[in-house]
Amino acid sequence: MCGITAVLSLGSHPASSSEEHSLPLDGKLDASLDLVQHRGPDARGTWTSDDGKVSLGHVRLSIVDLSPEANQPFHDSVDDVHAIVNGELYDDEYYRNLLGSEYDFRSRSDCEIVLALYKHYGLSFLSHLRGEFAFILWDARRKVFIGARDRFGVKSLYYTIVNNQLLVATEMKCFLPFGWKPEWDVQGLRECGWVFGTGTMFKGVQSVAPGHYISSRNFSPIRDAVYWDAEYPDKNTPELRSESEMTEGVRNHLMEAIKVRLRADVPVGIYLSGGIDSSAVAGMVAHLVKEEGARVGNDQSHLISRMKCFTVQFDKDSGADESDIAQRTAEWLGVEFHPVPITEETIASKFEDTIWHSEVPLPDTNGIGRLAMAEAAKSHGIKVILTGEGSDEHFGGYKELANDFLLESDLSWSPSLSEAELAELSQHQCGPDHAAYLATKAVRSLPESTCKMLNNISVLTKLALVSRLPFAPWTETFAVTHPETAQVEGLDGRVRDLIINRWHPLHTAEYILTKGLFPNLLLRYLGDNVDMVHHVETRPPFLDHHLTAYVNNLPPSLKIKCSLPDKSLTEKYILREAVRPFVTDEIYKRPKKPYMGPTKFPENGPLHQLFMRLISQENIEALGFLNWSATEQLVSKAFKDQNPLSFRAAFQICQIVIISQRFGVARARA
């Protein structure tokens, strides 16, 4: 809901700039906040310590407690502890009642509980936070600096060091006013560190990992630590609960996660697609309003008909449009339905803004649809939106997870399938895809040691294709480590042991997804970074950690249901059963279709012209790490041959060109 920037001078003295005519620190802080002013149009606040070693900056989007008392930075009553918070924290009223006698709350803001919890629990306060957040806390008395990010990375938090100053911010562009000179991290690009790990496309810039925090004591170099991690059951331990009991458990946890996210002092809406995730959220909200008299944001009418749902509407013949299905769901629920038309002209006109704000090149037009939906929500006065992100990653919703589910019998659930039955299902259900994966693996010569460390799951190799670019030959020097190897070696040793000995391959694949591509790309390009361009805060109930802890401990066979007679797999089976009372039969029965934009557009249209302008020899050679002759062919294949893979590759290269130009990135050299 906000944007933050923090500066910590490392060492014993405040850092001095080497630039003779540079802005003073407060000027740099303001310039940094200017770049994310869209994230917080309602208020701005800055604070710098008396010794000049610590500075905090915050721009605010007012959601809970709209009064000036809730503006940030927050300071405790003795001026010892200071904090800036981006996000939404739930259960704050409980902690206000618990800690009200020892902490003097100055506002009703949910975010102020960060200070109260820290003063009461010390560093253990992190485990008490529930919600989507990123924050910086400075304990002036103890000289302790803490930066933390929520468990799934819904909110972003990046850091780098410039001129002996630790810079931490919501978006990387915030570093530019402090003298940061971006350089491509060619090794990270070749190893997909920006996709799977905590690296970015830029040298020396890291993201705080989901469920992690960074800290510094007495201005010393920072350290990174984990405060939370996902857990899965031992695959050999039988599940004793009944299917009906676990179905009810999913339903109750999801309902509660949705309920707490309805609280706001501003209007709340819903992003509705043709899938079961967002449809379940909309259906449960309607149920809470009708049956329990729940209040949706600041709307006290208790009328379902006033709920506003927004849906992307691609061209009907594009193969990507789900607006008709979403409209039928909206009519069934009796809510307001607002389709948001996305034409080729829309995609071309919003292309540059989408990549500038998301800061990650994801090769799909769907992010532009997300940006347009946020703009539509804003035009209707909506400041908060509930979304369906996180369901596929926890309930086995992606088609790519089917192969990994079928690698081993699920011994936790009876009757388990035999190896022969698994092989038969795999050949029938995943044959072509699996063959393509094996071919890719053979071409890439993936080391057997990496396969063993990953327990032979294939989802990583499939995801690595996201960044399969036409690299220049000189970059081969940086390609000695496969992306899959770099990813698994970057995991904690304890996790690697669990992967090999305890976790079912489906759970391993889910873990890998939630730690890499999901927070690094999907939640940036299809989440907070883009939504906040139009001052819209999105809340994903499926990423409530109370819910995910429950779901992680479900048997794999209830996430993906096998039917031997017709050799079919039903993804997200237990979720379908849990939300069946709240969705239409059409949605309940509909197979998973990922939210992806169109890939086929005519020659000489707005997108073709955009691609031709951006993919020029001058622009590609200015990057330094791509091969021009190979890149040049992609545009022709994308529009003349209507090749979707070429379109996606060209689309991503156009995004990288925009990043290079807007960030002023130096040319990569051998």
List pLDDT tens digits, range 265-277. Answer: 999 999 999 999 9
- Count of CB atoms within 10 A of residue 93's CB? 12
Contact (CB, 8 A) for 242 and 521 = no
Q: Which amino acid is at 472?
A: A
Q: Is residue 232 part of a domain?
A: no
> Are residues 49 and 158 located together in one domain of the fold?
yes
The helix-helix angle for 505-515 and 493-501 (nearest 10°) equals: 150
Q: Is residue 408 part of a domain?
A: no
What integer best gives the mean pLDDT of the chain? Answer: 93
> Are residues 111 and 214 located together in one domain of the fold?
yes
Q: What percent of the chain has pLDDT over 90?
A: 86
Contact (CB, 8 A) for 560 and 592 = no
CATH code of the domain in which 75 resides? 3.60.20.10
Q: Is residue 403 part of a domain?
A: no
Query: Tokens 């803004």 — which residue?
Result: 353
Contact (CB, 8 A) for 117 and 33 = no
Confidence of residue 497 (pLDDT cuts 50, 70, 90): very high
Assess whether pLDDT exceeds 50 at residue 438: no
> Are residues 194 and 169 located together in one domain of the fold?
yes
Confidence of residue 431 (pLDDT cuts 50, 70, 90): low
Q: Domain range holding 470? A: 419-513
> Are residues 351 and 262 located together in one domain of the fold?
yes
Q: Is residue 600 part of a domain?
A: no
In angstroms, the Cα distances linking 559 to 246, 255, 387, 424 are: 11, 18, 21, 19
Assess whether pLDDT exceeds 70 at residue 21: no
Tell me what the mean pLDDT of segment 106-125 comes to: 97
Assess whether pLDDT exceeds 60 at residue 237: yes
> Are residues 509 and 542 located together in one domain of the fold?
no
- Say if residue 651 is exposed, middle or buried (CB neighbours under 10 Å; 0-12, 13-18, 19+): buried
> Are residues 60 and 96 located together in one domain of the fold?
yes
Tally the domains of the chain. 4
> Are residues 323 and 466 located together in one domain of the fold?
no
Q: Is residue 402 part of a domain?
A: no
What count of Cα atoms within 13 Å lies in the side-chain half-sphere of residue 642?
A: 5
Q: Which residues are catalytic?
A: 2
> Are residues 505 and 528 located together in one domain of the fold?
no
Domain end among 173, 191, 226: 226
Query: Tokens 């499926």 — which residue?
Result: 542
The dihedral sign for the CA sequence 562, 563, 567, 573: negative
List pLDDT tens digits, range 537-575. Answer: 999 999 999 999 999 999 999 999 998 888 889 999 999
Tell me what the mean pLDDT of segment 652-657 comes to: 98
> Are residues 218 and 176 located together in one domain of the fold?
yes
Contact (CB, 8 A) for 373 and 636 = no
> Are residues 566 and 654 located together in one domain of the fold?
no
List pLDDT tens digits, range 371-428. Answer: 999 999 999 999 999 999 999 999 999 988 999 999 999 999 988 888 888 888 888 7
Residue 154 assigned ligand-binding role: no
Domain end among 540, 555, 589: 589
Q: Is residue 463 part of a domain?
A: yes
> Are residues 14 and 46 located together in one domain of the fold?
yes
List pLDDT tens digits, range 337-378. Answer: 999 999 999 999 999 999 999 999 999 999 999 999 999 999
> Are residues 43 and 146 located together in one domain of the fold?
yes
